[in-house]
Structure formats: C-alpha cells, structure tokens
Amino acid sequence: MKFGFYDNFRPCLIKSRGVVDITDLVGLGKGVPPQAVLENLIKNYAKLTPKLKALEAKGKAISFSKVRLRSPVPRPGKVLCGERNYCEDVPIKPIGPMKSFFKSPEGIVGPGDNIVLPKFKTRIYNHEAELGIIIGKKAKNIAVKDALKHVFGYTNAVDVSARQPADGEAELPGAYGKCFDTFLPVGPYITTANEIRNPNKLRVRYWVNKQLRQDYNTSDMEHGVAFFIATLSHCMTLMPGDLLLAGTNHAHLGPLQNGDMTEIEIAGLGRTANPIKDSLKRKWKVELRNPQDNMDRRHASKGKPHGGTWPFQKPYAGK
C-alpha cells in the first residue's frame, strides 16, 4: 500500500487515480500533529490492514487535481543520513565503518513546496537524491539479518546541501549546510516495505529543468540498507516514524538556483517536483560533477553492497 497526507494533512491511501481519505480510521482528533497520526498508523498497521485493504479496493478516490499532497513524513523525531555511502564505481577497497550525520527535521517540505535558498554566502547549492527509509518498529541493538523487518516503508528524499564557502570566509560548522529550512523535500508518498522486494536494487533519478542529473542504482551502496539500520541501532534507539536517508551517488551533481524546477523519482516510490527560490537570484555555471572526481571513494564489489565489520565482527579501532 501507499500512504500520504493531503490538504490540511489529512491521512490518505494513494491510488492511481487519486487519494482515499482514511482520517476516520487512523485520525486521532483535531489538533493532533500529523506525525503522531503517521506513528499511530505505523504502530497499528497490522491490526488496521484488513480495513485499509477494503478502503483501497472500494474507497472513493478524490482526484489528484483536486487535492494538494503533503510530505508523507511530516516531522520525524530523527533524521539520519548516510555519509559517502556509495562506491561510485571507483575501484578502491572499503576503508572502514559506515558514517552518518543528523539533518534537521524542520527542513522537510512536501510535493510542490518551494526549496528556498538562504541568504548565506556559500560556494554552491547541490541536490542529493536519496532513498528515504521510514522505521516501522523500535530498533535497538538489532542484527543485520533482522534489520529490514523494522522498516515500515520507503519514500523519495532529497538532501539539499550548501557547500562550504572558499577558504578564509565564514564557514558553517558540521553538517549545518544541510540543515536549512526547506532543505529536505520528501514524497510524494510512502510505499510499504512489502511492495519493495529489495531496497538495494532501485533506480534513482533526479532532473533539473528536465535535464537528467542523477541516475544511479541503490545496488551501488557500500553499506546496504540493512547494515545501515542495524549499525545505527547500536548507537541509538530508532523509533517508529524516524526517517533515514541512505546517501547518494555524487556523480553528476550540479547547482540549484532560482527558477529551477527539480524532480525526483525512485522505482516504486513515485515522482515529485519542487521549485527553487532564491531572493538573491544568484547564478552558478551548470557543470556536472565528473564521476572520476570521486577517487577518494571506497569501493566494494560492484552491484553488491559491502556488509561492513563494525560493530558486528569486531569493534572499530579507528585504524
């Protein structure tokens, strides 16, 4: 099944011809935050499945032309992102454990919402199209073999990034350049995990003004989705509704600037668009990053995500 929110964050099923309202089934009353509604749906999904399937089959659909889709993950408790998690077809062996960073949940926007470039001096703003993973049940110290059982579903996500300015200019500490408001487009819906046979075999594409920029497969991950989830669960407790971004292939990244129309599509997860707004109307030359610039990347067997070692075989000693 496919779930989302529409208009004033009313919960819905997504069908080919429109949305089916499920507020009466999963709604929690007036004034309840939409994220709480999503988490209630996730926690009670098994029990609700028969009624949801009945609505999916016979419920009256409202045409997409009459509704506004919203982010299917409105405000997760945590957003965790894989850092340099793709091999990028560079023949260099893996160098160590998976890395990750936090991204602000306040950056989330939905289908059609503006991505607003802030008035900050930066080298460039880039797009990073990524697979989004929605946690379905509490995960703490879990094994890799059990990790995908803790996934509720998947969605499209974009890690918009402000690159550090030139040397000698003010810098953003840590990952702050990824944490501006509107820097996390998500949607258009969540596809439940049972409909995605293998999250490490999905084509990811991203367009800017109809120019195809990113086109890669999640099979190129160095650390696969299951390993990513399991490793994070050994550092912190993952909760239902938390959002993980699995990283991106950095080849062919380009600038985002005022007036651009961006689109992302991942196999089985739909397609959504977001316009770029910049009150300063800055311009960058459109030069796409060459894959051969990524010779610092790790490389596992092409098409087979590296299983990693830490923390499951031996502690990482920093070497």
Select, from the ranges 199-203, 248-252, 281-285, the one with the highest average predicted confidence (pLDDT).
199-203
| Sequence-separated (6 or more) residues with CB below 8 Å from residue 202 | 131, 196, 217, 218, 266, 267, 268, 269
User: For residue 140, what pLDDT band results from cuts at 50, 70 and 90?
Assistant: very high
Q: Is the peptide bond before 311 cis (omega within 30 degrees of 0)?
A: yes
Same domain, 55 and 202: no
Domain encompassing residue 20: 2-70
Please tell me whether residues 104 and 138 are part of one structural domain. Answer: yes
Please count the structural domains in the chain. Answer: 2
Kindly report, residue by residue over 73-131, the tens digit of the pLDDT: 999 999 999 888 887 766 555 545 678 889 999 999 999 999 999 988 888 999 999 99
**Shared domain check, 260 and 176:** yes
Question: Do residues 128 and 272 share a domain?
Answer: yes
pLDDT reported for residue 317: 34
Computed over every residue of the chain, the mean pLDDT equals 87
Looking at residue 309, its pLDDT comes to 46
As given in the structure block, the two tokens for residue 310 are: 């830490």
> Is residue 213 a part of any domain in this protein?
yes
Distance of CA 267 to CAs 74, 205, 255, 271, Å?
Answer: 22, 9, 24, 9
- End position of a domain, from candidates 28, 47, 70: 70
Instruction: Tell me which of 25, 47, 70 is where a domain ends.
Output: 70
Are 32 and 62 part of one and the same domain? yes
Residue 313, pLDDT > 50, answer no
- Return the sign of the alpha-carbon dihedral for residues 137, 26, 36, 156: positive
Contact 183, 145 (CB under 8 A): no
Provide the pLDDT for residue 8. Answer: 96
